[in-house]
Structure 1
Amino acid sequence: MGVFEYVWAGVLAVFLGPEAFSLFGIGVPITLVMVVFGFLLGIVIGATPGLGGPFVMAVSLPILISFFGFTPDALLPVMGFLVGVMKGATVGGAVPAILFNTPGTPDALMTTLDGYPMTKRGNAGKALRTAHFASVSGDTFSDLVLFTTAPFLAIIVESYLGFAEKAALIVLSLSFVAAVVGASPMKGLMAAFFGILLASVGTGEDLYPRMTMGTEFLANGFPLITAVLGVLIMGEVITSFEETWRDRRAARVQNQIPQSDDNSLSWSERKALLPYISVSAAVGTLIGALPGIGSTLAATLGYATGQKMHKGPVKFGDGTPEGVAATEAANSSVSGANLIPVLSLGIPGNVSAVFLILAAESIGGFNPGPSVFRFTTSEVNPELVIAFGLFTTMMCANILNWTIGGQFMRWVGVMSKVPKQVLMPMVFLLTITAVYVQETSFDAIFFLLGFGLLGFFMRKLRVPILPFVIAFILASNLETALRQAFAVSGGDPFFLFRSPISIVFLVLSVVVIVFFMCGKKDEAALSSEVS
């Protein structure tokens, strides 16, 4: 098969896959239905403060896997739903920030700086249209970069990196994530090491129990889904319960602000926004391609870059559409770029990417990494077909975003008023149900609650969550790469230092940690002087 034949096979896998139902005698593929459903649900959840895309992805993944099963036909519907949620939540996150000055996520904080002043002037509709146009433009640009970059990067990795180099690359990625995420690189390293430690409990590569303290309870280790959902979701739910108990105040009543009759966004206004969108999309894509940094930094840099470009009468921060466009284009362009390290290296770049990897590992038949883009003309690579099918679902979600996303986004503004006291108990019960449906064991519930308490205390101690989660996921890959590299070297204890490439990766790991530790110390010293 040639390249274009693989692309066409991926498109057909989406549109000619299993049918959900028939409409006027035409079969509607289940993958497309799941993309639409996930996209609309993502906008609703994104517009609800305190939730966000990862909540829905975490809760729905076990249920979807139980419903579709573990067959190859389940991969694209499940991953299509997750992609739809990711795209929809990215757009919907701007709604509460603009309408009620309530950022549902940290990166939406920058959107409030200009979005809410526009609402107070009666231009909420124009602000929402600006956010939608910038968000979908940045997202589409990022996806195009993903489609063209990930295959070539994977081919390079597959051609030049052996077992030792891949192990050193994983170490570099974990070091980068640990150093960048959170206020303290040392806490990030501790979280990563702790994630590797807990992932090592149970049966290892030698097929005998380790660190189980002689109990059957830990003989099979901690299920991946319980660890990830426990730390990410249950930890956040328990934190919200604690905050609600400590601060029992009713949700604020939002005063209705009169809005202007003309809140449209003309073509000339869209054209004027394009320079800000283009620059911010490029910034967000570069940031997103680096594992662990996330959309918050991208939104900040995009806003700062747009502010330097701006020459208009209304300054940034006073309610200018350019400020909204610069922020939304930057944080939305992260989503596609974050899948570059996932598909080319098998390394998750953010929380949403974590659940895509979980889906692939749970169902089977698709292992994100360099082998996905292994191209041969003699035999068919089914993983490459799935990859192009995944790209097709992303483009379908983008088309939905361009066509109905803006209108649906303006309809769901009411979700911004739902209080956490109502949402969090529902999330708590749904998460427990989802884990039990996946594992069908009460032991999994105990693990879930235990990891939830771990996530709660990590938040209280300001220990970053993402390094722990990514290290837990990559621990098995790291162990496998190290064992294979050790075996290939003939038992050489210095096998990691026999390759120039692996030495470069290991040195860069140390440099990254030292650089960011010094940078955080300088920031702390500067802030103390200012105070």
Structure 2
Amino acid sequence: MDPLEYVWAGVLAVFLGPEAFSILGVGIPMTVLMVAGGFLVGIVGGATPGLAGPFLMAVALPILLSVFGFTPDALLPVLGFLIGVMKGATVGGAVPAILFNTPGTPDAMLTTLDGFPMAKKGEADRALRTAHFASVSGDTFSDLVLFTCAPFLAIVVEAYLGFNEKAALIILSLSFVAAVVGSSPMKGLISGFLGLFIASIATGQDNYPRLSLGTETMQSGVPLITAVLGVLILGEVLVAFEEMYRARNRTTIATSDGPQFKSGRLSFADRRRLMPFISISAVIGTIVGALPGIGSTLAATLGYATGERMHKGPVPFGKGTPEGIAATEAANSSVSGSNLIPVLSLGIPGNVAAVFLILAAESIGGFNPGPSVFRFTTEQVNPELVIAFGLFTAMMFANILNWFTGAHIMRACGVMSRVPRQVLLPMVLLVTLAAIYVQETNFGVLYFALAFAVLGYLMRKLRVPTLPFVISFILAANLEEALRQAFAVSNADPFFLFKSPLSVVFLVLSVVVVVFFSRPRREPSEPTNGSDRRST
């Protein structure tokens, strides 16, 4: 098959795949239905403070696996639903930030700076439409970059990287994530090493379980999804419960019924005026998203700061100008596509959403994200390449849904911003525990979930980032396999990682990244008045 035939096969796998049901004799493909359902769930969840795309993906994954099973036909529907959730949550996160000044995520904080002032002035509808237009524009641009760069990067990696280079590349990726996530690179490294250590329990190619302490409970290892959900979701729930307990005696300020909606359709002139801000922010977000571990918060910050320098309008940034919303939303939305570049081309997750896509692929089987996916074979069909182009098709279908329906659903989801936390958090806890039990069908796995929930809670209290732990936990098996293969190929040479110039470059870059981000940051000194100086 030539490349165009692979692309067409991926499109057909989405639109002519297994049918969910038929209407008047017209079959509705399961993957199309799951993408649409995931997109709707993502917008509703993103519009609800306390929920976000990663949480929705975490809860949905075990349930989807129990419904669809582990057959090859389950790959595209499950991945399509997760893609829909990721894209919908990106758009829905702007709803509470604009309507009620309640950012559900850190990057949505910048949306409140101009979105909520516009809502107070009666321009809530215009603010939501601006956020939607900027978000879907940045997301579409990022997806196009993904479709172009991921196959090219994978082909280069497959052609020039051997076992030792791949092992060194994984080490570089883990070092980069550990160094840039959180406030302290050392804490990031501790989190990464802890993930590698726990993942090594009862795994490997040995004939006996290692680090199991001779107990039957540990002989089968630590359940992957249980560990990820425990640290990421249950740990956050425990922190939220503690905050609710501390704030139980605080007085609450009554809020108004919400902003008034006026007609705020964006004209062609309005969209043309916003395009320079959207374009620059989309490029920034795409570049930031392609780097593992950085996330959308930095992209939103850089996009907003760049847009503020460009802005020459009568209303300054922070006072209720649409350009501020456009710059922020385009930047954080364009991260969602480019962060899949290292996932599909290298098999390395760069953020939490990508983690669950890899978990889904590994759980179902038949699709191993990495350089081998984009192997264009002519003698026989590469099914993984068909799945990859099917995934690209599902992403574009989600973008089309977003273009035509996203703005209307965003406006309808404003009521979700009023769900009380004391109602939401217990539901989150119960649904997460139920999802974990459905995945493992073993009551004993709940003890693992509780242990990792406590671990996630302690990591947050100690300000140790959780993302390096999760990514290293997932990549531990790939790293060990690459190291074993490189060691075997080198005839048991203890310095096998230093035999290739490229692997040496990767290892040196790992050290440079950690050292660079470990430098003490200069804090701006507080101004002192003359009397203070004279007194000293």
TM range (shorter): over 0.9
Question: What is the aligned residue count?
Answer: 527
In structure 2, distance between residues paired with 1:382 and 1:59: 28
Residue 216 in structure 1 maps to residue 220 in structure 2: no
Deviating runs (4+, > 4 A) in structure 1? 249-252, 527-531
In structure 1, distance between residues paired with 2:252 and 2:23: 44
Cα 1:122/1:112, change in 2 over 3 Å:
same
Residue 134 of structure 1 corresponds to 134
In structure 1, distance between residues paired with 2:194 and 2:407: 42
Compute the displacement of 1:419 (Å): 1.4
Counterparts of 1:115-514 in structure 2, within 5 Å, are 115-248=115-248, 249=250, 252-256=253-257, 259=260, 261-514=262-515
Cα 1:528/1:224, change in 2 over 3 Å:
farther
Q: Is the 8 A contact 2:163 2:486 kept in 1?
A: yes
In structure 2, distance between residues paired with 1:38 and 1:59: 12
Compute the displacement of 1:378 (Å): 0.8
Q: Is the 8 A contact 2:139 2:333 kept in 1?
A: yes
Q: Is the 8 A contact 1:231 1:454 kept in 2?
A: yes
In structure 2, distance between residues paired with 1:224 and 1:136: 33
Cα 1:318/1:449, change in 2 over 3 Å:
same
- The residue matched to 2:518 in structure 1 has which SS? helix
Residue 98 of structure 1 corresponds to 98
In structure 2, distance between residues paired with 1:389 and 1:497: 39
- The residue matched to 2:220 in structure 1 has which SS? coil
Q: Is the 8 A contact 2:19 2:29 kept in 1?
A: yes
Q: What code does the residue aligned with 1:369 have? A: G
Residue 521 of structure 2 corresponds to 522
In structure 2, distance between residues paired with 1:301 and 1:258: 29
- The residue matched to 1:491 in structure 2 has which SS? coil
- The residue matched to 2:381 in structure 1 has which SS? coil
Q: Is the 8 A contact 2:342 2:350 kept in 1?
A: yes
Which segments of 5 or more consecutive residues in structure 1 lack a partner in the other structure? none
73-82 or 420-429, larger mean C-alpha shift: 420-429
In structure 2, distance between residues paired with 1:31 and 1:254: 42
In structure 1, distance between residues paired with 2:320 and 2:19: 47
Q: Is the 8 A contact 1:107 1:331 kept in 2?
A: yes
- The residue matched to 1:214 in structure 2 has which SS? coil
Compute the displacement of 1:71 (Å): 0.2
Q: Is the 8 A contact 2:124 2:259 kept in 1?
A: no
Cα 1:471/1:260, change in 2 over 3 Å:
closer
Residue 65 of structure 2 corresponds to 65
Compute the displacement of 1:252 (Å): 4.8
Compute the displacement of 1:203 (Å): 2.9
Compute the displacement of 1:241 (Å): 1.1
Compute the displacement of 1:528 (Å): 5.8
Q: What code does the residue aligned with 2:139 have? A: D
249-258 or 183-192, larger mean C-alpha shift: 249-258
- The residue matched to 2:21 in structure 1 has which SS? strand
Cα 1:440/1:109, change in 2 over 3 Å:
same
Compute the displacement of 1:254 (Å): 2.3
Compute the displacement of 1:205 (Å): 1.8
In structure 2, distance between residues paired with 1:205 and 1:13: 36
In structure 1, distance between residues paired with 2:378 and 2:22: 36
Compute the displacement of 1:247 (Å): 1.2
Q: Is the 8 A contact 1:168 1:506 kept in 2?
A: yes
Compute the displacement of 1:246 (Å): 1.6
In structure 1, distance between residues paired with 2:197 and 2:259: 56
Q: CA RMSD, aligned part only?
A: 1.2
Counterparts of 1:18-97 in structure 2, within 5 Å, are 18-97=18-97
Which segments of 5 or more consecutive residues in structure 2 lack a partner in the other structure? 529-536
Residue-by-residue CA offset, 1:53-79 (whole Å, 9 max, x unaligned): 111110110010010000000000000
Compute the displacement of 1:15 (Å): 0.8
Q: Is the 8 A contact 1:225 1:358 kept in 2?
A: yes
Q: What code does the residue aligned with 1:98 have? A: I
In structure 2, distance between residues paired with 1:443 and 1:528: 53
Residue-by-residue CA offset, 1:455-496 (whole Å, 9 max, x unaligned): 000000000010000000000000000000000000000000
Residue-by-residue CA offset, 1:244-292 (whole Å, 9 max, x unaligned): 1121157653213553633221111011000000000000000000000
In structure 2, distance between residues paired with 1:56 and 1:305: 31
In structure 2, distance between residues paired with 1:74 and 1:429: 26
In structure 1, distance between residues paired with 2:203 and 2:342: 28
Q: What code does the residue aligned with 1:332 have? A: S
In structure 2, distance between residues paired with 1:70 and 1:250: 50
In structure 2, distance between residues paired with 1:266 and 1:50: 34
Cα 1:215/1:530, change in 2 over 3 Å:
farther
- The residue matched to 2:388 in structure 1 has which SS? helix
Q: Is the 8 A contact 1:185 1:517 kept in 2?
A: yes
Q: What code does the residue aligned with 1:355 have? A: F
Cα 1:436/1:493, change in 2 over 3 Å:
same
Residue-by-residue CA offset, 1:190-213 (whole Å, 9 max, x unaligned): 000000000001132223211111
